[in-house]
Structure 1
Amino acid sequence: MNKFKIFSLALVATASVAQAQDIKEAKKAIDAEQFQKAKSLLKSIIKAKPSDGEANFVLGNIYLNQSVIDSAKIYYLNGIEASDRKNLNYIGLGQIDLDNKNAILAQANFGLATKDMKRKDVDEYIYIGRAYMNSVNPDYNSAITSLKRALAIEPQNATALLAIGDAYYGANNQNDAYKAYRDAFTADPTLLRAKMQLGVLLKGAKSYDEAIKAFNEVIALNANYGPVYRELAETYYKWARNKPSTSKTNLQNAITNYEKYLSLTDYSLDSKMRHADFLILVKDYKSLETVANKMIAEDKVNPRIYRYLGYSAYENGNIDVALKSLEDYIKVPTNKIIAKDYLYLGFAKIKKGTAADGSVEASAFDAGLTDIKKAVAMEPLAVEDLGDFGKELFTKKQYNQVL
């Protein structure tokens, strides 16, 4: 009997270790932007052990960050019924509250997540910090406050240092972001995202050659770390745009590195959407419309696809498709609306009201102009995208509209 008990305990211990390793593997897959792989791992964990609240929470986070709100909520609510680490799921529900601009309810959920924390626990503070950053309505100062609480307990926690670096970066505090990323990589030299973010800071400062050097240092450590190739692609693209004399070479470098990035992901919907974002950057709207239609055929759940279809349909002259896609996307309150969404909707409304002789129906122009003004109010730099559109109106002698 004693031997049987010892054997049973050994099995339980082995299962627990395997469970922890699976969670770690899922988190590694998320960091590598292999989201489909991460989902499969987490669903396997939940199937084997429904009482694992952390697995439900992490899976819910993937869905929430992909804007699949209903699925995220299902896993958070399942997680709350779990016996292990169920408190984390209140953080996920809190982020949904933040997305809905209900800060009071979010605080209540965060309170439920932290009320039974042990003295040396820090994960809850880190996840709350991420929730503030990842919300549709980000609050970087609150994120910093929560992350400082984690670091007060564990100053060398690399995950907390990386997170506070992201919070400082979001708050436009480049100096503190740089220090936090550097400290995170010092604390854990396997945390490649922290080192990669040092290059992201250089890219943001338009030090493109230095950023590329930084990214190549990451590749020297691990040539299979996919996200760094995406950052390289975006850096080469921005370099090409800011220095036209380098355009041909750097755009090709951008495409090559983006293809490398895609080859290292699992071709999940999320990686395809990142590809779509890149096609917008390089203005390849024919490919974008093809990619968007393929994504809709594969996954009718994620609403962001309709943004891509709206942009590409407009650029390719399919105005009715553009209007419907963008209107369907913008009317949903939980969707993450950006200035460019309103800009394209405004352009489409004006184009729809434009006759063969170039004249624009007054009501269509006014409706379009209202959306364009919304875009500029959200992001003043959106006026830079009015250049070609303004020239088009001028060519058609619509001088009043140009002014």
Structure 2
Amino acid sequence: MKLLSKVTYAAASMVFIGSSAFSQSLADAKKAIDAEQYQKAKSILKNLTTTQPTKDENFFYLGWVYTLQEYPDSAKAAFNKGIAANAKSALNYAGLGAVARLDKDNAGIKSNFDQAAALAGKDSKPYLYIGRGYLLTPGTSNVVAPADANAAIAALQKGLSINAKDADIDIALGDAYRSQLKSNDAYKYYSDAVNLSPNSTTANVAIGVLWRYANNFEDSEKQFQKALSIDPNFGPAYREWAETDLRWALTDPKMASAKVKEAADNYRKYLSLTDMSTESRMRYADFLIQAGDYKTLQQEAAALAASANSNLRVYRYLAYSAYENKDYPAGLTAINKWISSADPKRIIPRDYLYLGRLELASGQDSLGIQALRKAYQLDTTQTEVFNEIAKSYYAKKRYKDAAEAYSQYISKTPRAKLQDYLNQGISYFYAYDDKDPKADTMLLVKSDSAFAHIEHVATSPIAAVALYRAYVNDTKDRDRQNIKGLAKPYYEKYIQIVTTKGVTDADKKNLASAYAYLGTYYQYKEKDNAKAEENFTKARELDPTNRQAQAFFAKKPAAGKGK
């Protein structure tokens, strides 16, 4: 389902804000940061760092904007200038710690945050930004590790002990607990923030996001509306509203059409209230990934790539969308450009996932499998890669490799379905070569085990499972002159399932094979030619080309003993 139609940008409705239109105060810059008007904030702050070069706070907030936009080099330069202006600037050391987070520099994180805390004294703000630094999630990930969340909470609690009336710290604490799905704790701190600052648009929006995660969409919308009643131009309220609409659409199919349209409208309002920077549009691209609207994403990414202010990250969006739109050559070019040119710290596991998919789709199987394994190595939640690897091996008739990949998937994910066990069993079955006298019979054992698991947990009998169990046991019992009848109960079960539900044309060949096996069993094992003829007759009626039935009637045996 296409979840989002293309958002068009109306220049007339765009609130593009130049530095000359507003007073150049630090308070205005902070307000612009909260409203995600980063270009406006940078314009004000660059002016302030020129006109007030001794105020380290100006450099910190400029660096913080760069940090939020994931420009670590520019952020670090600003923070270092802040320290040059004031060697005891706790805020700027907190900023350097946040940059170290972007750079995955654990030593830098600790040393800079420790220095910020040592210099903070009775100022709560450095602890606020230490906490926010630990909550940063670079790239497209929004997952905060428990250890980072705990470190953020410890810093923020220290800040709160210094200034119990700092609503921003309460909001950050709410964010930290929300990142760990601790909704009650998150709500407590968001509510504290609203009590301290009833007109806090950020706190009201945060409560709305919390309701969204609980799928309480009506209350979520009320919070966004409340924030907009305080400030009709607070863009993040529209962005979170749009993302709530999207979750609503995915959760409730009856509301999908209306909510998808509303999501588009709300995201358009968000964009019109920001400065339409490359960063804002890339955030929209992230939203399109979440929405699964890869057609619009490819169009938007192409427009971003053509922009004079293009960000290298646009190649990620070009690659993802091209793959989903089956434009594999373009996608492979884009993902290789991104991975080869970007700072290695900016590469995320999903990039290798798409690299692998694009290489597999382009016939570069060994490279594709290597990239998929790299994605799993970097993020062990990406267990789906083993399913994709298995499908690739199966398509190349490398059945043993496919079976082992399916086995890895089943062992590593709690989401394995009966279909995965079926694929595993079929792959092990085809991996066994009955013409090879040294063939590994454990492959048949593993195959039968997979099918047996399905029979054990399935709520109703499955014809394909019974048939494949019959095939496996039939393969073990190839000597027709000394047939043991290992497959007999499974073929009989298959016949019962199919005839009970009603035989279709698609069933006839397999059903004929089942009757032919029974005919052979009665002919050679039971020496009951009447029962043999009965079953071979059914086989011939279903499939006149069945070779076992043809052979039986070509040389019809003498009548045997009746049973």
- Give 2:91's aligned residue: 88
Distance in 2 (CA, whole Å) between partners of 1:351 and 1:123 is 50
Distance in 2 (CA, whole Å) between partners of 1:44 and 1:83 is 18
- Give 2:17's aligned residue: none
Higher helix share: 1
- Give 2:115's aligned residue: 112
Distance in 1 (CA, whole Å) between partners of 2:318 and 2:352 is 14
Instruction: Please tell me the residue identity of whatever aligns with 2:136.
Output: N
Structure 2: stretches of 5+ with no match in the other structure: 1-22, 139-143, 403-422, 425-563
Give the direction of change, closer, same or farther, for the CA distance of 1:255–1:149 in structure 2 (3 Å limit). Answer: same
Distance in 2 (CA, whole Å) between partners of 1:162 and 1:73 is 25
1:61-119 deviations in Å (ceiling 9; x for gaps) = 2112222122112111221111487332221221232344433332222233233334x
Instruction: Please tell me the residue identity of whatever aligns with 1:345.
Output: L
Distance in 2 (CA, whole Å) between partners of 1:395 and 1:237 is 36
Normalising by structure 2, what TM-score?
0.60
- Give 1:122's aligned residue: 124
Indicate the RMSD between aligned Cα atoms, in angstroms: 3.1
Distance in 2 (CA, whole Å) between partners of 1:187 and 1:158 is 6
Deviation at 1:271, TM superposition (A): 1.2
Instruction: Please tell me the residue identity of whatever aligns with 2:119.
Output: D
- DSSP-derived class of the 1:334 partner: helix
What is the number of equivalent residue pairs in this alignment? 372
- Give 2:43's aligned residue: 40
| Aligned residues with identical type, % of pairs | 38
Which of 23, 28, 35 is the aligned partner of 2:26?
Answer: 23
- Give 2:351's aligned residue: 341
Instruction: Please tell me the residue identity of whatever aligns with 2:357.
Output: F
1:236-284 deviations in Å (ceiling 9; x for gaps) = 1111112222221111111111111111111112211121112223333
Instruction: Please tell me the residue identity of whatever aligns with 1:133.
Output: L
- Give 1:164's aligned residue: 173
Which of 133, 143, 167 is the aligned partner of 1:131?
Answer: 133
- Give 1:61's aligned residue: 64
Deviation at 1:287, TM superposition (A): 2.5
The answer to which of 172-181 and 289-298 deviates more is: 289-298
Give the direction of change, closer, same or farther, for the CA distance of 1:375–1:80 in structure 2 (3 Å limit). Answer: closer
Give the direction of change, closer, same or farther, for the CA distance of 1:369–1:113 in structure 2 (3 Å limit). Answer: closer
Give the direction of change, closer, same or farther, for the CA distance of 1:266–1:300 in structure 2 (3 Å limit). Answer: closer
- Give 2:221's aligned residue: 212
1:200-249 deviations in Å (ceiling 9; x for gaps) = 11111122233223222223333222111111111111111122222211
Distance in 2 (CA, whole Å) between partners of 1:260 and 1:392 is 43
Kept after mapping to 2: 8 A contact 1:132/1:142: yes
- Give 1:230's aligned residue: 239
Distance in 2 (CA, whole Å) between partners of 1:172 and 1:211 is 17
- Give 2:197's aligned residue: 188
The answer to which of 245-254 and 86-95 deviates more is: 86-95
Give the direction of change, closer, same or farther, for the CA distance of 1:94–1:314 in structure 2 (3 Å limit). Answer: same
Distance in 2 (CA, whole Å) between partners of 1:323 and 1:75 is 36
Distance in 2 (CA, whole Å) between partners of 1:105 and 1:281 is 32
Which of 328, 331, 334 is the aligned partner of 1:322?
Answer: 331
The answer to which of 238-247 and 185-194 deviates more is: 238-247
Give the direction of change, closer, same or farther, for the CA distance of 1:152–1:336 in structure 2 (3 Å limit). Answer: farther
Distance in 2 (CA, whole Å) between partners of 1:220 and 1:78 is 39
Give the direction of change, closer, same or farther, for the CA distance of 1:346–1:241 in structure 2 (3 Å limit). Answer: same
Instruction: Please tell me the residue identity of whatever aligns with 1:23.
Output: L
Kept after mapping to 1: 8 A contact 2:304/2:310: no
Deviation at 1:290, TM superposition (A): 2.6
Q: For residues 156-305 of structure 1, what are the structure 2 equivalents within 5 Å?
A: 156-298=165-307, 302-305=311-314
Instruction: Please tell me the residue identity of whatever aligns with 1:189.
Output: P
Kept after mapping to 2: 8 A contact 1:91/1:128: yes
Normalising by structure 1, what TM-score?
0.82
Kept after mapping to 2: 8 A contact 1:350/1:365: yes
Distance in 2 (CA, whole Å) between partners of 1:128 and 1:371 is 32
Distance in 1 (CA, whole Å) between partners of 2:372 and 2:128 is 42
